[in-house]
């Protein structure tokens, strides 16, 4: 692709001067001399998150069991209060979101609740590019109902091995489909699906549809008030910066309030009756019904501080910077690395792209290792893909410029040849 503008480091510095979010960088712990581009796998620790972990530890120390109802963040209502705050990231109603579980546990809950095969309407649509854990959960639920994954799971084929066509998904919405599970942003290529179009098509055919938001929440300002999917689920340790193993979240559209949770537990209960200790569950008529067990309070703690930063910055402003940074990244790659066989995999259009840049290269694994030797933290994914995620909270435009120059040096000097072109245990 022809580059019309020759970008320089001065251009990057000018963008940093205009950056309304630059002061948030001081809120995060960034290892000196390191450029961190893996926030789409694990976001960095913020000082706010550290502080709220300390606050909840102190509440445990000061209150003991009384911490369930006392202190600045009473534990008994913490999942609901955080759900109300996280709802702003997807423009949903406060009671449609609950912070609970993990991505896969929440998917199991939603499948157990909403996948109710009746007669020939018994198939689930997913896709061949989705994160494997989602497929594992779907297959497990099918087997639990005595159904065959080979027969009842439809996986949409990719035309290029990296992206999906909405037309192909809609064409597969036949009369025998009961439920659809898709990712909002594909975890490898970073493609952002047209969720509204897919929801409208599914609902026209009487099919329920839900989305895995793991690679979009915290970077894409979804508007579920307009999109109206039936449900969604996500993790909080990527763009939300909630920490390793942070509690995830789920959304259920209010039209489904009152449906019995497929996997019930004592935190599914109406709060005021939870300690009645009756053996007949009276479950909540909002997203809180889809909780199962006792909240992991210390894994909820960092999310409190992290969401304070989102409230101050604004998800729309974060998204605008993310789009500008990923576009700048791709322009620099085309300008500086054109002769080194890198292929940009993710869509170029802003409305079709998530928060990371995805590059294909036959030596991707060894290039990632070389980048780490230069104190740049990327992410490698099979097959032969490099993911680079500038995070609006803490990545500067000058860092983006520097990374591309480092990649150029790695290729010019063939530094990558010093490393085996195979992934580590954790990619």
Q: What is the pLDDT of residues 95-149, one digit of tens each?
A: 999 999 999 999 999 999 999 999 999 999 999 999 999 999 999 999 999 999 9
Mean pLDDT of 235-240: 98
Beta strand segments in 242-287, E: 249-252
Joined tokens for residue 426: 């954790």
Is residue 3 scored above 70 in pLDDT? no
Asked whether residue 103 is marked as a ligand-binding residue, the answer is: yes
Q: What is the pLDDT of residues 297-309, one digit of tens each?
A: 999 999 999 999 9
- pLDDT of 424 reads 87
Q: Which residues pair with 57 in a beta bridge?
A: none
Is residue 223 scored above 70 in pLDDT? yes
Joined tokens for residue 80: 């609901």
| Residues 208/196, Cβ–Cβ less than 8 Å | no
Q: What is the pLDDT of residues 272-290, one digit of tens each?
A: 999 999 999 999 999 999 9
Q: What is the pLDDT of residues 345-391, one digit of tens each?
A: 999 999 999 999 999 999 999 999 999 999 999 999 998 999 999 99
CATH topology identical between 9-30+314-418 and 50-312: no
Q: What is the pLDDT of residues 162-220, one digit of tens each?
A: 999 999 999 999 999 999 999 999 999 999 999 999 999 999 999 999 999 999 999 99
Rounded Cα gap, residues 333 and 364, in angstroms: 15
Rounded Cα gap, residues 354 and 184, in angstroms: 9
CA 316 to chain CA centroid, nearest Å: 16
- pLDDT of 425 reads 84
Beta-strand pair 97-99/343-344: unpaired
> 395-399 contacts: CB < 8 A, separation 24 or more?
395/35, 395/36, 395/37, 395/39, 395/325, 396/12, 396/16, 396/19, 396/22, 396/25, 397/12, 397/13, 397/15, 397/16, 397/19, 397/325, 397/328, 398/9, 398/12, 398/13, 398/16, 399/35
Rounded Cα gap, residues 278 and 314, in angstroms: 43
Asked whether residue 327 is marked as a ligand-binding residue, the answer is: no
Asked whether residue 133 is marked as a ligand-binding residue, the answer is: yes
Is residue 5 scored above 80 in pLDDT? no
Asked whether residue 28 is marked as a ligand-binding residue, the answer is: no
Q: What is the pLDDT of residues 44-76, one digit of tens each?
A: 999 999 999 999 999 999 999 999 999 999 999
CA 206 to chain CA centroid, nearest Å: 27
| Residues 95/287, Cβ–Cβ less than 8 Å | yes
User: Is the link from the previous residue into 383 a cis peptide, with omega within 30 of 0?
Assistant: yes
Domain covering 50-312, topology: 3.40.640
Nearest to 254 by CA among 280, 220, 289: 289
Q: What is the pLDDT of residues 171-181, one digit of tens each?
A: 999 999 999 99
Q: What is the pLDDT of residues 331-340, one digit of tens each?
A: 999 999 999 9
Helix axes 103-114, 132-144, angle to 10 degrees: 40
What percentage of the chain reaches a pLDDT higher than 90?
A: 97
Tokens 């909820």, located at residue = 300
- pLDDT of 1 reads 46
Is residue 427 scored above 80 in pLDDT? no
Asked whether residue 266 is marked as a ligand-binding residue, the answer is: yes
CATH number of 9-30+314-418: 3.90.1150.10
Residue 265 DSSP SS3:
coil
Asked whether residue 237 is marked as a ligand-binding residue, the answer is: yes
4: pLDDT confidence band, cut at 50, 70 and 90? low
Asked whether residue 134 is marked as a ligand-binding residue, the answer is: yes
Q: Which residues pair with 357 in a beta bridge?
A: 388
- pLDDT of 304 reads 98
Joined tokens for residue 34: 């390191």
Rounded Cα gap, residues 294 and 296, in angstroms: 7
Domain ranges of the chain: 9-30+314-418, 50-312
SS (H, E, C) 351-374: HHECCCEEEECCCHHHHHHHHHHC
Query: 248-280 in b/e burial notation, b at 16+ Cβ within 10 A?
Result: bbbbbbeebeeeebbbbeebbbeeeebeeeeee
What percentage of the chain reaches a pLDDT higher than 70?
A: 99
Is residue 2 scored above 70 in pLDDT? no
Rg (CA), the chain: 22
């Amino acid at each position: 692709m022809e580059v019309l503008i020759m970008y320089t480091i001065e251009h990057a510095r000018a963008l940093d001067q205009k950056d309304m979010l630059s002061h948030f960088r001081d809120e995060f712990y960034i290892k000196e001399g390191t450029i961190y581009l893996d926030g789409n796998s694990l976001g960095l620790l913020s000082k706010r998150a550290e502080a709220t972990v300390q606050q909840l530890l102190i509440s445990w120390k000061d209150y003991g069991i009384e911490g369930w109802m006392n202190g600045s963040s009473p534990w008994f209502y913490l999942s609901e209060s955080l759900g109300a705050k996280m709802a702003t990231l997807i423009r949903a109603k406060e009671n449609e979101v609950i912070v609970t579980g993990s991505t896969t546990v929440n998917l199991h809950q939603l499948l157990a609740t909403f996948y109710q095969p009746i007669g020939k309407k018994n198939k689930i649509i997913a896709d061949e590019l989705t994160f494997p854990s989602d497929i594992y959960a779907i297959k497990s639920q099918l087997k639990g109902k005595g159904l065959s994954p080979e027969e009842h799971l439809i996986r949409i084929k990719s035309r290029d091995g990296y992206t999906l066509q909405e037309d192909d998904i809609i064409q597969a919405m036949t009369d025998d489909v009961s439920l659809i599970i898709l990712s909002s942003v594909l975890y490898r290529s970073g493609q952002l699906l047209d969720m509204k179009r897919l929801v409208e098509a599914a609902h026209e055919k009487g099919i329920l549809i839900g989305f895995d938001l793991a690679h979009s929440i915290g970077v894409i300002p979804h508007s579920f008030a307009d999109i109206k999917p039936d449900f969604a689920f996500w993790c909080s340790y990527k763009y939300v910066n909630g920490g390793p193993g942070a509690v995830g979240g789920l959304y259920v559209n209010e039209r489904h309030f009152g449906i019995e949770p497929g996997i019930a537990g004592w935190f599914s209960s109406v709060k005021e009756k939870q300690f009645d200790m009756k053996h007949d569950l009276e479950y909540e008529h909002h997203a809180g019904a889809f909780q199962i067990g006792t909240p992991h309070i210390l894994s909820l703690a960092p999310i409190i501080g992290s969401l304070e930063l989102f409230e101050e910055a604004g998800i729309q402003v974060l998204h605008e910077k993310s789009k500008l940074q990923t576009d700048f990244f791709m322009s620099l790659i085309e300008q500086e690395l054109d002769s080194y066989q890198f292929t940009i995999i993710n869509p170029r259009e802003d409305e079709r792209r998530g928060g990371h840049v995805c590059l294909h290269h036959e030596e991707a694994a060894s290039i990632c290792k070389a980048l780490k030797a230069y104190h740049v933290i990327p992410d490698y994914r099979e097959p032969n893909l490099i993911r680079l995620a500038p995070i609006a909270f803490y990545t500067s435009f000058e860092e983006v410029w520097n990374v591309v120059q480092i990649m150029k040096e790695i290729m010019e000097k063939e530094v990558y040849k010093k490393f085996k072109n195979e992934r580590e245990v954790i990619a």
